[in-house]
Structure 1
Amino acid sequence: FAARKAIVAEFEELGLLEKIEDHGLTVPYGDRSGVVIEPLLTDQWYVRVAPLAEPAKDAVKNGDIQFVPKQYENMYFSWMNDVQDWCISRQLWWGHRIPAWYDNEGNVFVGRDEAEVRRENNIADSVILSQDEDVLDTWFSSALWTFSTQGWPENTDDLKTFHPSDVLVTGFDIIFFWVARMIMMTLHFVKDENGKPQVPFKTVYVTGLIRDDNGDKMSKSKGNVLDPLDMIDGIELEDLVQKRTGNMMQPKLAAKIEKDTRKVFAGGIEAHGTDALRFTLAAMASTGRDINWDMNRLEGYRNFCNKLWNASRYVLMNTEELDCGFANDADKEFSLADRWILGQYEATVKTYTEHLDNYRFDLAANTLYEFTWNQFCDWYLELTKPVLFKGNEAQQRGTRHTLITVLESLLRLMHPMMPYITETIWQRVAPLAGLETENTSIMVQPFPVYNESSVDAKAMDDLEWVKQFILAIRNIRGEMDISPSKPLSVLLANASSDDVRRIEENKSFLASLAKIEEFTMLENKDDAPACATSYVGNLEIMIPMAGLIDVEAELSRINKQLEKAEKGLAQVQNKLANEKFVNNAPEAVLAKENAKLAEFSDAKAKLLEQKTKIESL
């Protein structure tokens, strides 16, 4: 504060100092130096923004540039309607030097380099020029990105081909710093063949911020930052602690951060792979909303990658070195399941493409997940086994053809969201479909397009009926604690002609997946013995219980579970009846307790229903 003290002394000497008193104020200190930050006025370079802002606003107003979600246009206009001149000078040791030179008399010359400055201004070599030591604001050079990378100011082939670009993906926090400035700079500098200013891109897709699992913004000072590389490759606990507490701006927080890290990541972070992380980000990206990061979701999508890998192994085991019907005109007989999965796949292509067109990456990812896990893996692969193990040659060829067709197409559909695993699998699957893979990649293959002619509506309806029948049998097994492998005889009542047809045509599927050894049609269901019953539409499915279960043992088991459910229900009810608890508990805790209440209530109702059925035997 030497200058301040000197000023006070001079005021006193001149008799101009009336009084000295204390004033409360905020004194800024440097995080690293720990000393007071002193302001210093210097000359700065500015860009006059007002003339650039109007065309940039018009580009969004007239639809040349669209924001997704649309509400971010309001944020854009709020900045652009109140623009200030832009200071582009930065006092840093790195960056693009400001292209301005000074002579000894303080005259300023601007050019691409010193040689151009001397040439354009007839400055002799004897005149000493010094370049401005400031560098450009990083957002200034970033604002030139869409065209400077394509060879501008030359009208290169790349510039003509790739400019303007299509979609910019960015965060809402830099809409003004980067997006607005790119729009202003591009409109000013780049013109099309007719002299019309070009926009840098047609769509701005705005993502949310990725926050921690509590919804807090990730920051090093809080110690809650998750490095994507650690989730991809994994990291040991001690290395993670060191990473989160080393080189901190506020070392006093290190102990707390270490404690929290050891609690949350007691075993470190396991490796999940690039594809699992990429797919998780897509699945959680919902229209500009912030994402509360969830390691459980990441683990779940790693399991999804494993599911795809194992499904592909099953397909390859049953198709490699076998006739899949692509290289010849041999007969192929397609089963109901084959025709159904082709229709399901086409429906997936249609829905997935619509979601991508609308920038709903979360819904697109969930569409892929639903089809791959639930339809392709859980149902279709199981439905292929009766054909592959017991079908004739034409039937097996048809199913192998379908397995390869659907998997190869599915890999192309999934590739943008899971590039590495799909590339690896495709290189083995594609040759089986008669495709060339040498010196090529899945990424240059045509993206799947919806083909309505591949949808067999009747097959879709019939197979859905088969699924409901199988699920009905499985539900009875679960409720009555009957072994999944125990063969059953079923009695059927109220069967329509379609029900009868579907049973006759699909006995192999029903026998294999529901473990049914005998079907009996009843004229009068009153003739049936004591049975466990389920329904598919109006069709009544009955399984005689005699000899299937030990009644006394089953009642004992149910009573024990019922007692446990009632005890848990009472505890939750008492807690929620406590007014003090309800008024003071966080919302998340109350939601958890209400979920428990519903869970215990549902369990009790189901157990009582099972008990009634068993007691009637």
Structure 2
Amino acid sequence: MTELPKTFEPGPIEARWYDHWEGQGLFRPERKDAEPFTIVMPPPNVTGSLHIGHALDNTLQDILTRRARMQGKDALWVVGTDHAGIATQMVVERQLNEKQQKRTDFSRDEFVAKVWEWKEESGGQITRQLRRLGASCDWENERFTMDPGFSAAVTKVFVELQKRGLLYRDKRLVNWDPKFQTAISDLEVETNEVAGKFWTLRYPLSDGSGHVEVATTRPETMLADMAVAVHPEDERYRDLVGKQVRLPITGRLIPIITDEHADPELGSGAVKITPGHDFNDFEVGKRAGIKPADMLNMLDASARICQTADGLVPEELLGRERFDARRRVVELLEAEGALVKVEDRTIATPYGDRSGVVIEPRLTDQWYVDVQPLAERAMEATRSGAIKIVPETWSKTWFNWLEGIQPWCVSRQLWWGHRIPAWFDEDGNVFVAETEAEAREQAGGRELRQDEDVLDTWFSSALWPFATLGWPEQTEDLKRHYPNDVLISGFDILFFWDARMAMQGLEFMGEVPWRTLYLHGLVRDAQGQKMSKSKGNTVDPLGLIDKYGADALRFTLAAMESQGRDIKLDEKRVEGYRNFATKLWNAARFLQMNGVGASTSIEAPQATLPVNRWMIGEVVETLAKLNRAFDELRFDGMADAIYHFTWGTFCDWYVELVKGAFDEETKAVAAWAFDQILVMLHPFMPFVTEELWHAMGERPYDLIVAKWPEPDIRPHPQQAEFNEAMAEVAPDHAFGERHLDVAMKWFVETTIEIIKSVRAIRTELNISWTMKLTPVIVGEWRPDLMELLEEDAAFERLAKLNSPEQADEVPPNSAQVVVAGATIAFPLEGVIDLDAERARLLKAIAAVEKDRDSLAARLGNPSFTERAKAEAVEKARADHAARAAEAERLSAALARLG
């Protein structure tokens, strides 16, 4: 046994134990004869640093992994990082800019070499931070989405999809980032409400018979208008359909067409159609018979005005930046008399989440995956139960997206990433192959050039569950650990990653990638607002770890994770669970001071004392609750079960009840129960539990690989004698037909209930602890309670009670409680000044009720609830609830006095 310091300091403990675990290879799955358990970490960006979402996600994964390891399973937690195409290229380009250099100063190969150099020097920050959190990943098999084996898998999948007719090249609109000059995914687009304008324009009919008015938030795009659409049932335009209008500035003649996209109730009911620069207009254009190849484009890759295919854009506009062009186009429209009016309007505007610039819909040639057949298989797997989504409420969202799925644009105009394995000859023919040699063979030996684009990062990460295990090679790890058992994911990447993993896994492995998909919520600030740097309400998990320890942060996140509901993270909760770790630490010190060390048995020890039999039974019940919560993936339920048992049942009551009575049996039970606590708590708070595990005595193994508890309560050897004794003492309770432990539980829990009731009476009525109280059992004879109150020394020590008495009626001026179906009175005559106490309580009740009613009136006033800040309203509600509860408590105390 190692004497523990008085003060619990998590920092040094955490550093020491993590180095030990990793150095000893204890995270490796090396139990080849055991049942496998597999989970893959959503690969964080190689550019990233640990944020609170990562902390939640990885804490939940680590809890499941550590418990599986303790269950004796061959637990593999796959770890790795994503090459993060745009993010990484941006970081390296920023470094070059600081040296007055830019990417195009180098060849593609030279630039990529610089990215690899950055990755080796700076790309491991987040993995170091994950270690701070306690993540027990298989670091010896860390993967990277650009490592050679993974890249081979990516290339093979691309080629196979093309062979199967599921991957093709097409001209379509994409989200285009003018700063990075690449297509980006929907996930990389943030929509912000910004102050803008709504311009109404006049387009004259080409025959001079009138005009049509249209409105737009982007007047510069009229340079590429190709039609004006009206609703087919809009009577106002029935005679104009088929006619042409002449565009101002360009003079282009465009037709008036019908399409249900035009809303007769909105503005004039006529809308300008620019199919090369708007997603809705693109679909209207296709319905009108305009081929994508014929759609006009008026912006280059940098969002500067370029000449359209018909050459009608005025020379003075060419090369202008889009917003400067907007200003000039409006001036030209006004000069022509084509500007009807300008209105202020709040506009939903898309921005690149990394570039911070406005995103443009742009018509480009890209590679697409036809994911509809893949989505059908993913939906069928979910319907059949092969994929279980937790919480089940997300299933509807899952199906809605998969049912309406669109082709997936998988190409990006970057230099960093998996270069697309496609080659073009001088005639534009494309050849897809795993190597250039194979492509040249397909091309009959002609000279080829490789596609300049790279693949979307999500394309490669969709292969994560099987490519990390060695696929396309049929490795032992692949055979053993695919499918994975569970995936822990934020709901925000349900489509971008989770669904695509399901589709690719079913397509290339013939099986689902994981059996259970668990979706957690977002971590918000204490007021429930989404965290953002602009609001200044982000939380640094490493700062919390430095302040309170990793164990406290981990337990907080687990305790607050309630199957997909967002978490309102309050630092006070983290502080509270730091206090929980301290409570555990002090309990260990108390046990040590009373000669209690490490348990010598995994099985529950033999015990005869009621308090010890009760404690063993409580361990069993807690384990059952904990296991059930694990089975249901109720992380809050897991934390609740072990927290309340550890703090309340063990530390507050068992330790109190056995204080001063540590015989050999009690030492054995206390040691065993504390060991069970350390084992059950380890997945949540690995550092402090490992430290205490070793401090309590010599151990043959580390706690991280200790056996998950399976205590079994066997019939007690004194059961028969107990049955006979209880049949005489308390025949009405029929203990003779019940297990000994049920009776032990009744004795101890009744003791606790009486002590708690007496303590409440003392607190509420200001009764000094120097004054002893006499319990009076009122009414029918209760030998069980009489014996309990007479024999249990805890009542004198913990509640300051005299020996019990019996009475037919409640004595005058008594406080009363109901325990175990009996009324127990405590006469107060001579104990306190009853009149003074009544006066004190009445005064306190009046003051609290006044505050309560004032807050109720405030909350009932709409001018407060609708105009005040949300946090002010929330505080008022909390204060009202507290005052109401206090009023009830004081009123109950007054009622006790009769």
CA offset at residue 112 of structure 1?
A: 3.2
| Contact in 1 for aligned 2:845/2:887 (Cα 8 Å) | no
CA offset at residue 142 of structure 1?
A: 0.6
CA–CA distance in 1 between the matches of 2:812 and 2:336? 107
CA offset at residue 570 of structure 1?
A: 5.7
Alpha carbons of 1:92 and 1:309: their partners in 2 closer, same or farther (altered >3 Å)? farther
SS in 2 for 1:168: strand
Equivalent in the alignment of 1:157: 476
SS in 1 for 2:431: strand
Quick check: 1:412 aligned with 2:679? yes
Q: After alignment, is 31-40 or 214-223 more displaced? A: 31-40
Q: How do 1:27-38 and structure 2 match up within 5 A? A: none
CA–CA distance in 1 between the matches of 2:358 and 2:839? 76
Q: How do 1:357-506 and structure 2 match up within 5 A? A: 357-388=631-662, 396-429=663-696, 431=698, 435-437=699-701, 441-449=702-710, 451=712, 453=714, 456-484=741-769, 486-494=771-779, 495-504=781-790, 506=791
| Contact in 1 for aligned 2:466/2:482 (Cα 8 Å) | yes
Alpha carbons of 1:64 and 1:9: their partners in 2 closer, same or farther (altered >3 Å)? same
Q: How do 1:196-275 and structure 2 match up within 5 A? A: 197-233=510-546, 271-275=547-551
Tell me which amino acid in the other structure corresponds to 1:352.
L
Alpha carbons of 1:128 and 1:357: their partners in 2 closer, same or farther (altered >3 Å)? same
Instruction: Select 1:311's aligned residue among 565, 578, 587.
Output: 587
| Contact in 2 for aligned 1:566/1:604 (Cα 8 Å) | no
Quick check: 1:599 aligned with 2:885? yes
CA–CA distance in 2 between the matches of 1:29 and 1:467? 61
Instruction: Select 1:99's aligned residue among 411, 414, 421.
Output: 421
| Contact in 1 for aligned 2:591/2:597 (Cα 8 Å) | no
CA–CA distance in 2 between the matches of 1:30 and 1:295? 32
**Structure 1 unaligned runs (5+)?**
191-196, 234-270, 389-395
Alpha carbons of 1:482 and 1:29: their partners in 2 closer, same or farther (altered >3 Å)? closer
Normalized per residue, the structure richer in helix is 1
CA–CA distance in 1 between the matches of 2:352 and 2:760? 67
Quick check: 1:345 aligned with 2:628? no
Give the structure-2-normalised TM-score.
Answer: 0.55
SS in 2 for 1:43: strand
Alpha carbons of 1:146 and 1:419: their partners in 2 closer, same or farther (altered >3 Å)? same
Instruction: Select 1:75's aligned residue among 373, 397, 406.
Output: 397
CA–CA distance in 2 between the matches of 1:560 and 1:469? 29
Alpha carbons of 1:467 and 1:60: their partners in 2 closer, same or farther (altered >3 Å)? same
Percent identity, please: 42
Quick check: 1:283 aligned with 2:559? yes
Q: How do 1:54-133 and structure 2 match up within 5 A? A: 54-104=376-426, 106-114=428-436, 117=439, 121=442, 129-133=448-452
| Contact in 2 for aligned 1:350/1:450 (Cα 8 Å) | no
Superimposed CA distance per residue, residues 481-538 of structure 1 (whole angstroms, 9 cap, x where no aligned partner): 123355444444444121123234x42222222223x314345557x67544434245
CA–CA distance in 1 between the matches of 2:385 and 2:352? 45
CA offset at residue 475 of structure 1?
A: 2.4
Superimposed CA distance per residue, residues 243-285 of structure 1 (whole angstroms, 9 cap, x where no aligned partner): xxxxxxxxxxxxxxxxxxxxxxxxxxxx122111111111111
SS in 1 for 2:769: coil
CA offset at residue 167 of structure 1?
A: 0.6
Equivalent in the alignment of 2:805: 521
Aligned residues: 542
Quick check: 1:336 aligned with 2:605? no
Q: After alignment, is 141-150 or 216-225 more displaced? A: 216-225
| Contact in 1 for aligned 2:813/2:827 (Cα 8 Å) | yes
What is the root-mean-square deviation of aligned Cα atoms in Å? 3.7
CA offset at residue 472 of structure 1?
A: 2.6
SS in 2 for 1:386: coil
Alpha carbons of 1:588 and 1:129: their partners in 2 closer, same or farther (altered >3 Å)? same
Instruction: Select 1:548's aligned residue among 801, 809, 831.
Output: 831
CA–CA distance in 1 between the matches of 2:357 and 2:487? 41
**Structure 2 unaligned runs (5+)?**
1-303, 318-332, 716-738
CA offset at residue 202 of structure 1?
A: 0.6
Tell me which amino acid in the other structure corresponds to 1:386.
G
Tell me which amino acid in the other structure corresponds to 2:569.
W
Alpha carbons of 1:288 and 1:156: their partners in 2 closer, same or farther (altered >3 Å)? same
| Contact in 1 for aligned 2:764/2:890 (Cα 8 Å) | no
Instruction: Select 1:137's aligned residue among 438, 442, 456.
Output: 456
CA–CA distance in 2 between the matches of 1:149 and 1:334? 54
Tell me which amino acid in the other structure corresponds to 1:444.
V
SS in 1 for 2:389: strand
Superimposed CA distance per residue, residues 152-183 of structure 1 (whole angstroms, 9 cap, x where no aligned partner): 11111100110000111112222211111111
| Contact in 2 for aligned 1:332/1:397 (Cα 8 Å) | no
Alpha carbons of 1:170 and 1:491: their partners in 2 closer, same or farther (altered >3 Å)? same
CA offset at residue 427 of structure 1?
A: 2.3
| Contact in 2 for aligned 1:52/1:184 (Cα 8 Å) | yes
Instruction: Select 1:51's aligned residue among 349, 352, 373.
Output: 373
Equivalent in the alignment of 2:575: 299
CA–CA distance in 2 between the matches of 1:502 and 1:211? 50
Equivalent in the alignment of 1:182: 501
Tell me which amino acid in the other structure corresponds to 1:429.
M
Quick check: 1:8 aligned with 2:292? no
SS in 2 for 1:202: strand
| Contact in 1 for aligned 2:425/2:447 (Cα 8 Å) | yes
Tell me which amino acid in the other structure corresponds to 1:565.
V
CA–CA distance in 2 between the matches of 1:316 and 1:594? 45
Alpha carbons of 1:35 and 1:56: their partners in 2 closer, same or farther (altered >3 Å)? closer
Alpha carbons of 1:604 and 1:372: their partners in 2 closer, same or farther (altered >3 Å)? closer
Superimposed CA distance per residue, residues 35-92 of structure 1 (whole angstroms, 9 cap, x where no aligned partner): 8767654431122222322222211121111111122222121122122221111122
Equivalent in the alignment of 1:568: 851
Superimposed CA distance per residue, residues 567-615 of structure 1 (whole angstroms, 9 cap, x where no aligned partner): 43564466567686678777636634642552353255245436x56xx
Alpha carbons of 1:487 and 1:523: their partners in 2 closer, same or farther (altered >3 Å)? closer
SS in 1 for 2:548: coil
CA–CA distance in 2 between the matches of 1:79 and 1:403? 54
CA–CA distance in 1 between the matches of 2:611 and 2:818? 22
Instruction: Select 2:465's aligned residue among 146, 149, 153.
Output: 146
Tell me which amino acid in the other structure corresponds to 1:156.
T
